Amino acid sequence: AQRVTQPEKLLSVFKGAPVELKCNYSYSGSPELFWYVQYSRQRLQLLLRHISRESIKGFTADLNKGETSFHLKKPFAQEEDSAMYYCALSGFIGGNEKLTFGTGTRLTIIP
Amino acid sequence: DAGVTQSPTHLIKTRGQQVTLRCSPKSGHDTVSWYQQALGQGPQFIFQYYEEEERQRGNFPDRFSGHQFPNYSSELNVNALLLGDSALYLCASSSPGLAGDDTQYFGPGTRLTVL
């Protein structure tokens, strides 16, 4: 069975401070991991995926298979980072497969 | 390209009724996935359609059914509505053959309220 856990429902960080949103997963095979973001009044959109190894809007995430984690990090938070963040897992490499989402973390950046 | 579009935006039904939700995929996409997002939860996979057939299905009862048309648009039907079906229903489109971009793009959702 696939499971994604985001332990923090709410996270508040001061502008300029580092951000880390936690994500742990459970899956027996080799999954692909994603971070999706939803800004206020906007639709859910892909932020980054582990196979692309990109840094998007200053965010990075490293897949740690030993700890089954895929934490999202940014060294210096900006006010525009305030949003709802969802970690998601696909059982196959390739974003076209069904996604299993965590319950999300609402990130608020304090000016 | 307007991206993924869904209709209607909001819908109110009563228990026992039936509902149909619609989705038009992003231009160039041929695969449509449906998700249910209850309040305070992450999206939960319902099923996926490709080449007019149900390709994958999540843990949802048979009351949830779907269809994909030759133009790749899709419908989600829910019969015998229950109060617990109240949720935001999201549609996502993608294309397995689209080199370099097999990402799922989400629509704005349809908010279903069952009274």
When CB atoms are compared, the residue of B3, B104, B109 closest to A95 is: B104
The pLDDT value given to residue B96: 74
Residues of A within 8 A of B40 (CB-CB) are 103
A74: CB partners within 8 A, 6+ apart: A18, A19, A57, A58, A59, A60, A81
Across the interface, whether the CB atoms of A46 and B48 are under 8 A apart is answered: no
Q: Is the pLDDT of residue A24 over 70?
A: yes
CB contact, 8 Å: B60 with chain A? no
> Is the distance from CB of A34 to CB of A48 less than 8 angstroms?
yes
Cα–Cα–Cα angle for B90, B60, B53, rounded to 5 degrees: 70
Model pLDDT for residues B85-98, shown as the tens digit of each residue: 999 999 999 987 66
Question: What is the percent of chain A with per-residue pLDDT over 70, rounded to a whole number?
Answer: 95
B99: CB partners within 8 A, 6+ apart: none
Residues of A within 8 A of B105 (CB-CB) are 45-46
DSSP string over B73-102: -EEEEE-S--GGG-EEEEEEEE-TTSTT--
Average pLDDT, chain A: 92
Q: Please, which pLDDT band fits residue A9 given cuts at 50, 70 and 90?
A: very high
Q: Which long-range contacts (CB under 8 A, 24 or more apart) does B54-61 make?
A: B55/B31, B56/A97, B56/A98, B58/A98, B60/B36
The pLDDT value given to residue B102: 72
The 3-class secondary structure across chain A, one letter per residue, is: CCEEECCCCEEEEECCCCEEECCEEECCCCCEEEEEEECCCCCCEEEEECCCCCCECCEEECCECCCCECCEEECCCCHHHCEEEEEEEECCCCCCCCEEECCCEEEEEEC
Cα separation, B115 vs B112, in Å, equals: 10
A66: CB partners within 8 A, 6+ apart: none
Q: Please, which pLDDT band fits residue A95 given cuts at 50, 70 and 90?
A: low
Q: Please, which pLDDT band fits residue A74 given cuts at 50, 70 and 90?
A: very high
Per-residue pLDDT of chain B (115 residues; tens, 9 = 90+): 779 999 999 999 999 999 999 999 999 899 999 999 999 999 999 999 998 999 889 999 999 999 999 999 999 999 999 999 999 999 999 987 665 567 899 999 999 999 9
Cα separation, A97 vs B46, in Å, equals: 12
Q: Please, which pLDDT band fits residue A93 given cuts at 50, 70 and 90?
A: low
CB contact, 8 Å: B104 with chain A? yes
